[in-house]
Amino acid sequence: MDKHRVINVQVTVETRGGKHAIGLGSMPVGNVWAWPSQEVTPDQAEKAMEEYASRVVRLTDILDEFGHPIDIIFHVAAEYPHQAKVVSKLLGLPEPLPELAQLVAASPLDAALHDAFGKANGVNSYNALSSEFMNHDLSEYLDDQFAGEYLDQYTLRTPKERLPLYHLVGAIDPLTDADVTTRIDDKFPETLSEWIAADGLTHLKIKLNGDDIDWDVQRVLDIDKVSGEAQASRGCSEWFYSTDFNEKCENVEYVLEFLKRIQEQSPAAYDRIQYIEQPTHRDLKSHPDNKMHEAAKLKPVVIDESLVDYEALLLAREQGYSGVALKACKGHTEALFAAAAAQKFDMFLCVQDLTCLGFAFLHSASLAARVPGVTAIEGNGRQYCPNANKVWAHQFPSMFDITDGSVGTSVLTGPGLGF
């Protein structure tokens, strides 16, 4: 891929007192991840998601009532499925936008509304989630288990000072000099060893195949060996992994065998695995046999691609998932709902990326910094689109200039979404 398209949204809001404020929202289109299809090409999906984003924004033009962003998005989201069909028909596509693609395309609007609301009221958006600002408690949006509760109970009033950064190790990424045939020489690290030394990394997200267990096991062992040498040279004794099979595992037995082999061959590498991302197909309803209970006894297994709403979270929990991956790209409102539900049900929490750049990464980081239980954040925009962060790095160096393996989220305290 030689390009990375981003949807930017700007909204202007007005309070009852006549005060105006401008809110901003941004998110990569992310069509390859959000809309894998045998019928629709990536270019067609990208165009459809951009058209969809424009139409969702126009839905707010008909709103003439004052309300909290949660209520506005909750109301507008009822039109998402219809708009998906309209866009599909307009562009002559054989299928409508799936739910995940709808959420990603609508997420910049969602973020912009929260940003504007906070700015209009002179508060950080995460401090505008109580009964003082909201018209309904969470039972209006989730169920009666949340009666009398508001989102301020599930978010922090000040952001965490720092968060470790998860660095992505792709399936073909070079680990050492021996893996590099021709150097790019773009002034950025090229091997895993170099990245660890340059950024002081302590958290690695490992991409795996999911259909070749020998390769998957060996890849983790190889990464652990290289990481061990690199960490030892910088005097670091503690680092961690997450594993991502890209939904390719046929069943939970694959995951169990993978974990068994890792533990047998390297107990230390096994202990470093913090959690496992959704290992099997994202369509939970069509694959009810893919239950994660046994794997979740060993490591947290987090729901990711399947998590499109509260109903999906409940189904995932029923099928044995023990963790939730929050993503700003699924919408700020939906992420807050999922964060509340995960805490209510005592589930593992993490915040993941979509190669978020600049504003989008700051948005994702602000979410991670305000949700209790989240201990790290992904941020691979600095790996794959580093030049896009240059402007933002001048204003927020602690968020983009990484030297100790973490981002300084304490700076995200401004009105709106914090930046």
- Do 306 and 184 share a structural domain? yes
| pTM of the full structure | 0.96
Nearest residue to 10 via CA among 27, 23, 29:
23
Considering 96, 122, 148, which residue would you say is the last residue of a domain? Answer: 122
Arithmetic mean of pLDDT, 40-69:
92
pLDDT of the residue at 35: 98
- Do 365 and 280 share a structural domain? yes
Pick the more confident residue, 62 or 95: 95
- Do 292 and 167 share a structural domain? yes
Arithmetic mean of pLDDT, 171-188:
92
- Do 90 and 198 share a structural domain? no
Asked, for residue 170, whether it belongs to a domain, the answer is: yes
Long-range contact list for 296-301, CB < 8 A, 24+ apart? 296/320, 296/321, 296/322, 298/256, 298/259, 299/259, 299/273, 299/274, 299/275, 300/274, 300/275, 300/276, 300/348, 301/255, 301/275, 301/276
- Do 402 and 317 share a structural domain? yes
pLDDT of the residue at 185: 83
Asked, for residue 18, whether it belongs to a domain, the answer is: yes
pLDDT at 301 over 60: yes
The tokens describing 193, both together, are: 């060893």
pLDDT of the residue at 1: 52
Considering 122, 155, 181, which residue would you say is the last residue of a domain? Answer: 122
pLDDT of the residue at 65: 78
Asked, for residue 375, whether it belongs to a domain, the answer is: yes
- Do 240 and 334 share a structural domain? yes
Share of the chain above pLDDT 90, in %: 94
Confidence of residue 2 (pLDDT cuts 50, 70, 90): low
Tell me the average pLDDT of the chain: 96
Residues in the chain: 419
Structure confidence by residue, pLDDT tens digits, 232-262: 999 999 999 999 999 999 999 999 999 999 9
CATH number of the domain enclosing 367: 3.20.20.120
Total domain count, the chain: 2
Structure confidence by residue, pLDDT tens digits, 87-112: 999 999 999 999 999 999 999 999 99
Confidence of residue 28 (pLDDT cuts 50, 70, 90): very high
- Do 400 and 295 share a structural domain? yes
Confidence of residue 63 (pLDDT cuts 50, 70, 90): confident
Give the domain range for residue 40.
6-122
- The Cα 115–Cα 118 span in angstroms is 5
Asked, for residue 324, whether it belongs to a domain, the answer is: yes
Q: Lowest mean pLDDT: which of 176-185, 205-214, 320-329?
A: 176-185
- Do 195 and 108 share a structural domain? no
Confidence of residue 62 (pLDDT cuts 50, 70, 90): confident
pLDDT of the residue at 66: 87
